[in-house]
Structure 1
Amino acid sequence: MRRDWIKLTLCILAGYIASIPSSMASAISTEQQLMRRLDALLTPPSHDGEIVRYATLLATPQQVVALCDQPVLRLAGKDVRLVGRRTLIARCGARQHFLPIRIHAEASWWVARHALSAGQLIEPADIVVQRGDLAAQPAGVMFRASDILGQRLTRDLEAGKPLLPGLLRQQWLLRAGQTVDIVTSGEGFHIRSQGKVLDHAAANGRVRVQTRNGHTLSGTVAADGHVKIPLAQ
């Protein structure tokens, strides 16, 4: 009895597979290859936040079947939006196919740990990292704590709400042209010198400095205003 049931099941499956149109099977195979190659195009822009992007293809099977075996792929427009609808251009010789896709992204961004007040200077204890789907977040969520710390809020912010550039007023600790102490550190020693600041910079931010012998170096602004430069530079 069990063998008869297995045979019947296999016959039904065989009939179902045989009933799938060859064009549909071809579309599925082409779509799988297309998605593998599309993943390679979705390298995130230069951000921290451990961004992971992936796409879903919105094209019809007819659009997919019309492609050649190895189309040249590129995304239409500039890749500045991390999520949302985009157009994938697949070029087959002189002909271009325009395929709709939707890009998804997961990342880590910074939110208020507790309620923050307008005018408050943001410190490490005021923010916490959150990870999830970027589609539900406003544009401009901030991926680097260094872009937030030491800045002042322009308005009140509720706990759990994301920090955005428009909510922050830049607090420059160093200004271009200012003379600054430079601390170059290596294993077991520190060398202190002076140089000229080439950019405005906030605490914990990156800044370029020019040494007295004319060399330009990049370092990190310490809370007390000196610039830290590792010896590796």
Structure 2
Amino acid sequence: MQTLIRGIAILALLFSPLSHAQDLNALLNDWFAQRLAGFSDEVVVTIRTAPNLLPHCETPTLSVTGSAKLWGNVNVLARCNNEKRYIQVNVQATGHYVVAAVPVARGGTLSQASVTLKRGRLDQLPPRTILDINQVQDAVSLRDLAPGQPVQLNMLRQAWRIKAGQRVQVVATGDGFSVNAEGKALNNAAVAQNVRVRMLSGQVVSGIVDPDGNILINL
């Protein structure tokens, strides 16, 4: 009889809300770890939603909105058959991010010696902190940077590939043809940015700067 009672107690524990929450926590840890692979190698997820508000199935389908960040406080949509529940979680993610290695003056161009990678909590960083060191190479700083300071996207601009007044080649392509002509750039622009060009005829056209400094127009 005691053996039977003990067995029932174990089953009750296995199917208790606490056990279910622990399983869901493990599922969320794996889900976020997969999506943060390459950025973070250490992910810890804490569920903030009350146990009685969690989805009832064992393996819900998880998702977040496309623009949502994947660390810090995150709302996760959990689908169980026809049921939808939002789970509030806190995601701690540890990985590498870009910091200034030396003082960089406003207007200075960043090089390999200007920046380095630092390891720490990504969820505690300022918004839009850069994680890929290749993103900052040859970029121009828009403000003074101190050593150890996290580098954010809004602190930089890409170096101008085209400058206003510069003579440029405009390459217009269409279905089965390509035409080259010369013009003068009317604004500064980096690679992949839009630039307006005044052609020799006086007509103003707009195109995208390619890595070679040509202005590409699709007709």
Query: TM-score category by the smaller chain?
Result: 0.5 to 0.7
* 1:21-40 pair list within 5 angstroms: 22=12, 26-40=16-30
Secondary structure of the 1:103 match is: strand
Deviation track 1:42-76 (CA, whole Å, cap 9, x = no partner) reads 2336xx96323442111223234x6133433333x
Q: Give the partner amino acid of 1:141.
A: T
How far off is 1:79 after superposition? 5.2
Instruction: Report what 1:120 is aligned to.
Output: 108
Q: Is the 8 A contact 2:24 2:58 kept in 1?
A: no
Secondary structure of the 1:37 match is: helix
Secondary structure of the 1:124 match is: coil
Q: Is the 8 A contact 2:13 2:19 kept in 1?
A: no
* 1:148-227 pair list within 5 angstroms: 148-173=136-161, 201=191
Deviation track 1:118-151 (CA, whole Å, cap 9, x = no partner) reads 1111111111110100122101111222211111
Instruction: Report what 1:85 is aligned to.
Output: 73
Structure 2 CA distance for partners of 1:167 and 1:70, relative to 1, 3 Å: closer
1:146 aligns with 2:142: no
Instruction: Report what 2:181 is aligned to.
Output: none
Deviation track 1:165-198 (CA, whole Å, cap 9, x = no partner) reads 21112114489xx78xxxxxxxxxxxxxxxxxxx
Instruction: Report what 1:63 is aligned to.
Output: 53
* Match of residue 96, structure 1, among 70, 73, 84: 84
**Mapped partners of 2:58, 2:152: distance in 1:** 44
Instruction: Report what 1:41 is aligned to.
Output: 31
* Match of residue 133, structure 1, among 91, 99, 121: 121
| Structure 1: 5+ residue stretches without partners | 1-17, 180-198, 203-220, 226-233
Identity of aligned residues (%): 22
Secondary structure of the 2:35 match is: coil
**Mapped partners of 1:144, 1:39: distance in 2:** 24
How far off is 1:28 after superposition? 2.5
Q: Is the 8 A contact 1:111 1:128 kept in 2?
A: yes
**Mapped partners of 1:107, 1:156: distance in 2:** 25
Secondary structure of the 2:56 match is: coil
TM-score by length of 2: 0.61
Q: Is the 8 A contact 1:41 1:74 kept in 2?
A: no
Deviation track 1:197-216 (CA, whole Å, cap 9, x = no partner) reads xx9549xxxxxxxxxxxxxx
Structure 2 CA distance for partners of 1:159 and 1:50, relative to 1, 3 Å: same
Secondary structure of the 1:97 match is: strand
| CA-based RMSD | 3.9
Structure 2 CA distance for partners of 1:167 and 1:88, relative to 1, 3 Å: closer
1:74 aligns with 2:63: yes
**Mapped partners of 1:79, 1:50: distance in 2:** 17
TM-score by length of 1: 0.58
